[in-house]
Structure 1
């Protein structure tokens, strides 16, 4: 399993993966121009577009430094490509990602994202995060924790 920062040459392929992911998360939302995607190349010291996989890209993780004083990092987006799901890739990559960015994290999952709601508690336990706290409202479930 390998984790790397996406380079500019990977941007078109990653944009297609990101668009498919957003269409899956928000069906019926016709937004095709997402300004947040572009910021990952405009703010390289605060936003980190990762790809991960074995021999080729099999998913992505967008990490950002939030403006909240009690957080160091936020998982803005996390996706294992649909054809590679249920193989343990997401669980396997988290320790590598957290090792690159140790500190206080937040992961938010939309309440409409059943797969994400099932994935994150298991994945965070396996990644051995500390001080795990969870809160939720009608829109999202937020996990806050410390990763080393």
Structure 2
């Protein structure tokens, strides 16, 4: 089985909106979030990169990245769809993502997703190229905490 990342195209908008709506209902059920503006922004803003996570050409999840003004990246959203969880596919996808886009990173952990914090710590601790992992205060009430770290590698890889 081969994992890969593929850019989400504008003609995937309706599929992406549906996947994003399901994800938002899971991680922030009490928040008043609409998938439509988030998906539209993720596909149209020049500082956003939206990716399907594929396993043998099947969509098993997605990631939304944002390039900041300080040339670091924020992992805005990351999910593996429920039928594909608990198979190390999320870890493999995260490894591929960070290898593709080395440099400074941050990600926030959803308060409603207690397994996410453990997932990210375990995943980042298995990456020899990850350094400087630190926990920061959350930015939003829907978050439990934020993680910041640097992925070493060739900055021209992406």
TM-score range, shorter chain: 0.7 to 0.9
Unaligned runs of 5+ in 1: none
Partner residue, 2:132: 131
Change (3 A) 1:34 1:12: closer
The correspondence of residues 22-101 of structure 1 with structure 2, limited to 5 A, is 22-29=24-31, 31-43=33-45, 45-55=46-56, 56-67=58-69, 69=70, 72-101=72-101
Q: Where does residue 110 of structure 2 map in the other structure?
A: 110
The Cα of 1:30 is off from its aligned counterpart by 5.2
Task: Tell me what 1:140 maps to.
Answer: 144
Residue number in structure 2 paired with 1:13 = 15
Residue 95 of structure 1: how far off its partner (Å): 2.1
Q: How many residues align?
A: 145
* TM-score of the two chains, using structure 2 as the length reference: 0.82
| 1:43-85 C-alpha deviation (Å, 9 max, x unpaired) | 2x31001111212000001001124x3x610000000001110
Give the Cα–Cα distance (whole angstroms) in 2 for the partners of residues 30 and 133 of structure 1.
29
Structure 1 residue runs of 4+, over 4 Å off?
Answer: none
